[in-house]
Structure 1
Amino acid sequence: MTDAVYRDTWRRHTQRQGLTIWLAWLGLVALTVWCWQIMTRDTICFFVTDAPRQAADIGSRMWPPRLSYLPELLWPLWDTLNMATLGTMLGVVLAVPVAFLAARNTTPSTLMLRPAALFLIVASRSINSLIWALLLVAIMGPGLLAGVIAIGLRSVGFIGKLLYEAIEEVDRGPVEAVTATGAGRAQVLDYAIVPQVLPAFWGISVFRWDINIRESAILGLVGAGGLGLKLQSSLNVLAWPQVTMILLVILATVVVSEWISAKVRKAII
C-alpha cells in the first residue's frame, strides 16, 4: 500500500496525460510521414542518387576561383553596399513613426492607429525582400532604385517591431516625472521616452544594416543590381570560377559587416 501511494505521488504524468502525450507524438509522426510523402511524390530518385556526383563535378569546376575577375566586382560591390545603406535609412525613416503608433504607451489611438501600424509591420515582415524587389523591378524597371526601395520596405517590419517593443518597455518613472511638471505629450516623448529608446534604436538599425548587406547581395538575381547581377550572369554562362570569386567576395563582405555591426552595437549599448 505504501509503495503504491509513493508511485502515485511521484508519477510525472497521470495515466490519461501519458496516453494523451503518446497519441500526440503518434499524430506528429503520422503528420510528418504524410507531409514527406507529399513533398517527395514528384521527386525522381535518379536525380537524388546522382546529386553527390553532380555536386562533386560542379565543385571541381568552381576551383580555383578566377582572381582576375575581382576588379570587375568592385563597382557592383559598391552598389551592393549603397543599396543596403540607403535601404536601411529608408526603412528607419518609415519605421520610426510606425513604431510609435504601434506602441501602447505612445499611440494616439489604440482602436484605429495601433492596429493599422501593427498591420503594416506584419505585412512588411511577411514579404521577403526578394519578392519586394521582383515586384518593384516589374513596376519600375531594373536598377538599384528598385533594390533600395525593396530593402527599405522589408526593413520597416523588422525595425518597427523591435522598436515598438522597446518603447513599450521603457521605465515609467521618468515618464511620470516629466508628466508631473505639466509637460505636453510631445515633451514627454522628447524628454522621457526617446532618450530611453535611443540605444535600442541605434542597435536595431545597425543590426538591420548588417542583415541588409546579405540580402542586397542577391537582389541582383531579379534585376536590382549589385553583386547579384554579376552572380546571375556568371551562372547563366556556367562560369563557375567566377561564381566562386563572387561568393568569396560576398562572404568577405558579410564577415566585415558583421564585425563592424558587433563593434558599433558594443559601443552604443
Structure 2
Amino acid sequence: MVDASRTFPESWRKRTTRTELLIWAGWLALVALFVFCWQVMTQDTIWMFVADAPSQAADIGSRMVPPRWAYLPDLMAPLWDTINIATLGTLLAVIMAVPVAFLAARNTTPSVRFVRPVAMLVIVASRSINALIWALLLVAIIGPGVPAGIVAIALRSIGFVAKLLYEAIEEIDAQQVEAVTATGASTAQVIDYAIVPQILPAFAGICVFRWDINIRESAVLGLVGAGGLGLKLQDSLNILAWPQVTVIFVLILLTVLVSEWVSARVRHAII
C-alpha cells in the first residue's frame, strides 16, 4: 500500500495565531516607518512648485528644441577631456587596486587578521564615496581641471575593481596553486604561473566594465569643476542656453553608447 503522506507531501499549513499577529505587526511597523520617512522627506516641500512641475518641464522642453548644432565643434575638446579622465582614471585605479585585491583575498593575503581588514577598509571607503564627492574635495585640494577628475575617478574605482578582483582570486582552483607550489616555486612564481592565468579573463572584463562606467561618471564631473563635458553643461545651464544643453545631452548619450559597444565587444573577445 502506497503511503499518501510520502506521495503527496503536505504543502500548506495554517499559520498559528501568534505567527499571524507577528506578520501583521511587521507590516504595520513597515507602514509606520514609511509614513514617518515620507513626513521627514516632505516637511520642507513646497507643493505648489510640485504641482507646477509639469508645466515648467514642458516649457524647458520647448526651449531645448531645435538643438544648436553649431555648438558641437566647441564640445570636441571637452569630450576628449572626458574620455581621458575616464581612461586615465581607470588605469590609475587598476594599478592601485591590484595589490589591494591580493591583500584582501583570503588565499593570498599575508595576514587574515591584520592585513586583510586594512585592505577591506580601503575597498569599502572607496566604494562608499561617490565620484562627485571625491571631485569636490579634490577640486579644493588640487584645483579645478582634468587632474582632479582623473584622481576622483581613480579613487572611486579602486574599491570596485579590487572587490571584484579579490573575489575572483578567492574562487581560483587551489589544485593548480598546490601543483606549482610543489615544484618549489617562490611566492612570486606561484602568483605568476598559478593565480594570474586563472584570473586574467575576469580581470580584463572588470577593467573594461569599470571603464564603461567611468565614461558616464566623468561626463558630469565638470559640474563641480573637474573638467570634461560637465563643465560645458554647467556653463550652458548657468546662462539658460537650453539648445546647447540638448546638444550636450545628445553627445553624452552617443559617447555612452559607443563606450557600451566597445565594452561589449572587448568582453566578448575575452570570454
Length-normalised TM-score, structure 2: 0.95
Write out per-residue CA displacement over residues 29-60 of structure 1, whole angstroms, 9 at most, x where no aligned residue. 11001100111111111101000000000000
Measure how far apart 1:9 and its partner are. Answer: 7.6
Q: 1:216-269: CA deviations, max 9, x gaps?
A: 000001111110000000000000000010000000000110011011011112
Determine the C-alpha separation between the residues in 2 that align with 1:194 and 1:267: 19
- Summarize the Cα distance change of 1:238–1:21 in structure 2 as closer, same or farther, 3 Å threshold: same
Which aligned pairs between 1:106-117 and structure 2 lie closer than 5 A?
106-117=108-119
In the other structure, the counterpart of 1:5 is none
Q: Deviations over 1:167-212 (max 9, x none)?
A: 0000111111111212222211111111100000000000000000
Matched, 1:128 2:130: yes
Residue 13 (structure 1) shift: 3.7
Residue 161 (structure 2) aligns with: 159
Q: Write the distance in 2 (CA, Å) between the matches of 1:9 and 1:155.
A: 48
Q: Deviations over 1:15-39 (max 9, x none)?
A: 3222212211111011001100111
| CA 1:13–1:174: 2 relative to 1, 3 Å | farther
In structure 2, stretches of 5+ residues that fail to align are 1-9
Q: How far apart, in 2, do the equivalents of 1:173 and 1:241 lie?
A: 61
Give yes or no for the alignment of 1:139 onto 2:141. Answer: yes
Taking the aligned partners of 1:110 and 1:12, their CA distance within structure 2 comes to 47
Q: Which residue of 1 aligns with 2:255?
A: 253
Residue 235 of structure 1: aligned partner: 237
Which amino acid in structure 2 is aligned with residue 106 of structure 1?
T
SS in 2 for 1:182: coil
Note the C-alpha offset of 1:12.
5.8
**Distance in 2 separating the partners of 1:66 and 1:12:** 67
1:87 aligns with 2:89: yes
For residues 191 and 13 of structure 1, the distance between their equivalents in structure 2, rounded to whole angstroms, comes to 57
Unpaired runs of 5+ residues, structure 1, are 1-7
> How is 1:14-53 mapped onto 2 (pairs within 5 angstroms)?
14-53=16-55
Provide the rounded CA distance (Å) in 1 between the counterparts of 2:20 and 2:90: 50
Q: 73, 76, 79: which one pairs with 1:77?
A: 79
Is 1:55–2:60 an aligned residue pair?
Answer: no
2:4 maps to what in 1? none
Question: Aligned Cα RMSD in Å?
Answer: 1.4
Residues 22 and 60 of structure 1: CA distance in aligned 2, closer, same or farther (over 3 Å): same
How far apart are the structure 2 equivalents of 1:205 and 1:21? 45
User: In the alignment, which residue of structure 1 is the partner of 2:70?
Assistant: 68
Q: How far apart in 1 are the matches of 2:102 and 2:212?
A: 24
Structure 2 distance, partners of 1:147, 1:55, is 31
* d(CA) in 2 for partners of 1:233, 1:174: 56
- Identity percentage of aligned residues: 73
How many residue pairs are counted as aligned between the two chains?
263
**SS of the residue aligned with 1:10?**
coil
